[in-house]
Structure 1
Amino acid sequence: MRQELVSRQLEEQISGRFPVGQRLRVLDVGMGRGTQVLRLARAGHGVTGLESDPALVAAARADLAREPEGIRERVRLIQGEGMDTGVHFKPGSFDVVLCHGVLMYVKQPDALLAGLARMLAPGGLLSLLVRNGDALALRPGYAGDWATALASFDGSSYTNRLGLTVRADRLADLTRTLEGIAAPLRAWYGVRVFTDGADDTAEAPTGGKLERLLAAEERAGRTDPYRAVAALLHLCGVRG
């Protein structure tokens, strides 16, 4: 659900900012096992994936190996830390930089974000996916965990589904940060408005039911006030 919604939102921003058919230079920082890397390479773009976890890099390489040669040759996978983009790449090397599901694991994200912005060419797109700090009370509240819900109103940390204590970001704070690194916010979406409370073991719907669910989530993710209470925020800034 998350990957599909973010992909649709990202495509909207790319198609609205770059000429149709332009082969973009894309960097995915914290790529995981490369879901977005493969999607963008299949769309014809040259994509570099950066990931610190060797197991995830290996999984991404295995998935890439099953792709046609024309897609494989458009992808470069690197094991490395998100803070080290300046070691691997020159400033202004990319048209699009993704950083999805990473900031919640970074205690002080400003330096990372500034480094990502430096990787963008003028007019380049920075795509961030973060845990929504303004909606932290919803998940424990729906579960009847009132102590955690109350604490979430004033906090910026939460326990994720892996059992790790991580941090969340608020829209107003990130808006100021993006302005400060010369990649001001141009658009933002909510991700997982209705499905965040689904049980981890729940089976995904199929066919028409899945399409209706995606349509509802996609509509909510761009409509006030629903997007403001989504579990995740997808922010898109543009390098000045």
Structure 2
Amino acid sequence: MARQLDEQIAGRFPVGRRLRVLDVGMGRGTQALRLARAGHQVTGVEQDAQLIATARGELAGEPEGIRERVRIVQGDGRDTGVHFLPGSFDVVLCHGVLMYVEEPDPLLAGLARMLAPGGLLSLLVRNGDAPAMRPGLGGDWAAALAAFDTTAHLPHARTEANGATHARPGLEGRADRLAELTATLAGIGAPLHAWYGVRVFTDTAFTDTAADEERAQADLTTLLAVEERAGKTDPYRSVAALLHLCGVRG
């Protein structure tokens, strides 16, 4: 997903331009730190105090120049209008958050208002068009059958894009359909520009055992190449566990 995001940034902004980035639901700050290291000014918003403490700990180990480029604000993302002026950011990230928000449209509209003209909105959501894939591939036929008819109350997905712990076992969330989000993005003035699949094959390829972790690391280069290719290729991306949507502010 980081490669997909970098691809969109590179295609949208001049090389070397220092961007103003808002990362809503920053988790432990994985993406925020990565972008700050690349020279961008990053504001992270997170409501979980423990995750904020972890992010600050990670930030403390960075050189002063990088530390100065990161600001952390405690909040849930729905109060961006309180903290920031409209049009304050070139890039807004909202990764692994919408699935746990009951009414996402107001949040999305608020995030779009934060974008300057031509700004990029990056969303990582659960794929509501393929909820039966994971239980089906795992042989849980009853869960797969039930998943065909709903996008709500789905078992947790692995969404560690920001190093957050949103995806805990037993935690349920909602999935979003591509067509519905496409219409929403158009309605809030940040129409869909590009979209990708994330975790096309790897969502069910590995468990948390040490053997699987070792195998994943050994094959990491090839694994990433396969996922990157599948994430932008039909029909594979359509059945990914997660969707990465990139809208552009008009």
TM range (shorter): over 0.9
Matched, 1:7 2:16: no
1:200: Cα distance to partner?
2.8
1:143: Cα distance to partner?
1.6
Output the CA distance in 2 between the equivalents of 1:206 and 1:57.
Answer: 28
Matched, 1:37 2:32: yes
1:236: Cα distance to partner?
0.1
Aligned to 1:162: 169
Output the CA distance in 2 between the equivalents of 1:37 and 1:83.
Answer: 19
Aligned to 2:217: 206
Matched, 1:84 2:84: no
Aligned to 1:101: 96
2:17 is matched by which residue type in structure 1? Q
Q: How many positions carry a matched residue from both structures?
A: 234
Output the CA distance in 2 between the equivalents of 1:188 and 1:166.
Answer: 21
Instruction: Write the mapping of 1:1-240 to structure 2, written as runs, cut at 5 A.
Output: 6-157=1-152, 158-160=154-156, 161-197=168-204, 198-201=206-209, 202-204=212-214, 205-207=216-218, 209-240=219-250
In the superposition, the TM-score normalised over structure 2's length comes to 0.92
The gaps in structure 1 that reach 5 residues or longer are: 1-5
1:148: Cα distance to partner?
1.2
Identical pairs, percent: 75
Output the CA distance in 1 between the equivalents of 2:179 and 2:124.
Answer: 15
1:170 is matched by which residue type in structure 2? R
- The ranges of structure 1 where at least 4 consecutive aligned residues each deviate by more than 4 angstroms after the TM superposition are none
In the superposition, the TM-score normalised over structure 1's length comes to 0.96
Deviates more, 1:144-153 or 1:174-183: 144-153
Q: Alpha-carbon deviations, 1:142-177, whole Å to 9, x = none?
A: 122111111111101201152012100010010000
Cα RMSD of the aligned pairs, angstroms, is: 0.9
Q: Alpha-carbon deviations, 1:43-80, whole Å to 9, x = none?
A: 00000000000000000000000001110000001111
